[in-house]
Chain A
Amino acid sequence: MKFLTTNFVKCAVKSCSASQDSFPLKYSECQLAKEESEYNPDFVCHMLERLDWDAIVKVAADLGNTSIPPQKPEGLDPIMEDDQAILRDLHSLLVETVILEGKMTCSSCGHIYHIKNSIPNFLLPPHLV
């Protein structure tokens, strides 16, 4: 599971769908790896526009990274050197960081989901469907 994907998934339990606490999930006991991939600054820039930044900050902290700026960096320009550094860091965090194993817990209902072999499992036991 790529770090980026944590920005799109929430608790699958129906009664949590209206709850603010069902996103992002809380990540724990995670085993991380780095998967190299082509760095494309324009792509990272445009990708940023659609991300929920608060969730990025929270999940990064869950995974032990507290160096994320609290506000979404705005108006980054891939040509500027300082911005390049930020974009590279974001590429490395969002695109190259994968969670191989771990747990995801819903802060609303407490349900625990598992990530195994890099695949997060959101299927629910029958009594929760």
Chain B
Amino acid sequence: MLPTPDVKDVDYDLVYEPSEDTFLLLDTLEDEQKYIREKFAGKVPLAVEVGVGTGIVSTFMQKHILPSSILVGIDVNPNACATMIRTMQQNMNAGDEDAGISDTVQMSLLSGFRDKCVDLLVFNPPYVPAESVPDLPVSVSDSSWLEVALDGGEDGMAVTWELLHNLDDILSPASGVAYILFCARNKPDQIASTMRQKGWKVNTVGHRKAGWEVLSILRFTK
């Protein structure tokens, strides 16, 4: 078992607290470590985590899964961006030999990212079915940032579909791979078959019952 990064001094009224979904993502990335490393051997891949929250997943990736990479963490929540940088710093040791580079941007999905350059994409989205996707709070210290972390609109899929529809333009054509988390109410089987029809290879690489939720992680490649 790879150690879970320390996450300290976070205001969980403003930033999503690592939960069952987070830990399934960490465990799945650990299972996928060999596959990921082999895929990007001898390169400096660009890894992007969308929706970093505390940054625990990004830190885990940079420390244990794909160290010599450029990692960019994206979130709409400025508190999350700042927390990610802190979590990263708290867990990386000076002199870490193959430490890569990490940075953060405040952005919705990959709207301000250049096309077709992401090698490894990871997304634990707001996946809870809800009436609508909440508007972004105006103030930095507004507790409705937590709703933004959870509420995914229709079927909990409104935000995730926006990304999936653009996956072709996001991932690097040569080697791109995306890991995305779903709950059962997102109907991951239907999503997988829709994406297969569009030419994607879809594998279920993580699956877990967490309380009354059933979570799974799908891997998308071309």
Contact = CB atoms under 8 A, between A and B. Distances in A.
Nearest to B78: A119
B43 A10 contact: no
Tier of interface size on chain A? 20 to 34
B42 interface: yes
B103 A38 contact: no
A46 B98 contact: no
Contacts of A66: none
A9 B105 CA distance: 9
Interface string A39-78: 0100100110110000000000000000000000000000
B113 A95 contact: no
A119 B101 contact: no
Contacts of B8: none
A121 interface: yes
A10 B98 contact: no
B100 interface: yes
Contact of B105 (A1, A11, A40, A117): A1
B82 interface: yes
B112 A12 contact: yes
Contact of B113 (A10, A50, A119): A10
Contacts of B96: 38
A107 to B, nearest CB: 14
B99 A46 contact: no
Given A43-B68, A50-B44, A123-B107, A8 B101 contact: no
Contacts of A49: 43-44
A38 B99 contact: yes
Given A9-B113, A9-B114, A43-B44, A123 B108 contact: yes
B82 A8 contact: no
B46 A8 contact: yes
Given A46-B44, A49-B44, A122 B112 contact: yes
B117 interface: yes
Contact of B112 (A9, A40, A50, A119): A9
B145 to A, nearest CB: 13
Contact of A122 (B70, B94, B107): B107
A122 B111 contact: yes
Nearest to A3: B103
B114 A119 contact: no
B81 interface: yes
Interface of A: 1-2, 4-5, 8-12, 17, 23, 37-38, 40, 43, 46-47, 49-50, 95, 113, 117-124
Interface of B: 42-44, 46, 68, 70, 72, 76, 78, 81-82, 85, 94-101, 103-108, 111-115, 117, 136
14 contacts: A4-B70, A8-B72, A8-B117, A9-B114, A12-B111, A38-B94, A38-B99, A43-B98, A50-B44, A119-B78, A119-B81, A123-B106, A123-B136, A124-B108
